[in-house]
């Protein structure tokens, strides 16, 4: 569904824009472009007094707090990661009013206080950005939809490991979960609805 509206109580939820993840090669958008577009949206949300939620994924060094289970790909929870890999990128840091959530799974709802943080603020809609489209963003979008939030996805402020994975989420999954729009379209609608 194309972008039609933003609720009065909408939050921007940013998925995994952290040093170790944005360092990986991404397609079809570069991680730098995703960060820049997310910064643009975050600045707009903050200027209208709307919440910005910065979600990061992190695990204990031994992987003890990672999701259990067997997969063909492995889950790499115990993998060695460079120091600071889970630190939110500098471009989004430095705003003490932002809500910070640490997750141990693909999605940002399970095992975190994200739902509580949003409900306490009366949030009825979320706009999602981040990396990777088909993993953290899609998992969070699915859970947000199941929790009853209106979901909007900023399609040019997210990216994936392959263009095929990104397009599958954009074209097949997201239209079933919410509305999609570009950063510019979301920014324009935000400005228009807040000017009333």
> Is 109 a member of any domain?
yes
pLDDT tens digits, 40-85: 999 999 999 999 999 999 987 666 677 777 667 665 555 667 788 9
Total of domains in the chain: 1
Residue 110 placed within a domain: yes
Residue 1: inside a domain, yes or no?
A: no
Q: With respect to residue 111, please indicate whether it lies within any of the assigned structural domains.
A: yes
Does residue 3 lie within any of the structural domains? Answer: no
φ and ψ of 131, to 5 deg = -135, 135
The residue ranges of the chain whose pLDDT is under 70 are 1, 61-64, 70-71, 73-80, 196
| Structural domain contains residue 2 | no
| CATH (domain of 45) | 3.40.50.850
Asked if residue 73 is part of any domain, the answer here is no
Instruction: Give the predicted TM-score (pTM) of the model.
Output: 0.93
End-to-end CA, the chain: 24
Q: Is residue 131 part of a domain?
A: yes
Q: Which residue has the tokens 């263009």?
A: 163
Structure tokens at 38: 């997310």
CA distances from 56 to 21, 108, 132, 165 (A): 10, 8, 12, 21
DSSP-based three-state secondary structure for 111: coil
Domain of 43, in residue numbers: 10-68+80-194
């Amino acid at each position: 569904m194309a972008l039609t509206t933003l609720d009065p109580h909408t939050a921007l939820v940013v998925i995994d824009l952290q040093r170790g993840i944005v360092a990986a090669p991404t397609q079809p958008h570069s991680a730098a472009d995703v960060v820049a577009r997310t910064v643009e949206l975050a600045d707009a949300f903050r200027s209208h007094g709307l919440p910005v939620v910065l979600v990061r994924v992190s695990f204990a060094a031994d992987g003890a707090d990672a999701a259990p289970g067997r997969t063909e790909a492995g889950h790499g929870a115990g993998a060695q990661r460079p120091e600071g890999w889970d630190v939110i990128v500098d471009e989004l840091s430095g705003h003490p009013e932002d809500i910070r959530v640490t997750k141990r799974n693909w999605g940002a709802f399970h095992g975190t206080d994200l739902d509580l943080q949003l409900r306490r603020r009366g949030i009825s809609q979320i706009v999602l950005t981040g990396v990777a489209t088909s993993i953290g963003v899609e998992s969070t979008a699915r859970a947000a939809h199941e929790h009853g939030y209106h979901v909007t996805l900023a399609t040019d402020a997210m990216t994936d490991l392959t263009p095929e994975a990104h397009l599958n989420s954009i074209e097949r999954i997201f239209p079933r979960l919410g509305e999609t729009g570009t950063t510019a379209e979301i920014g324009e609608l935000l400005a228009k609805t807040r000017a009333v």
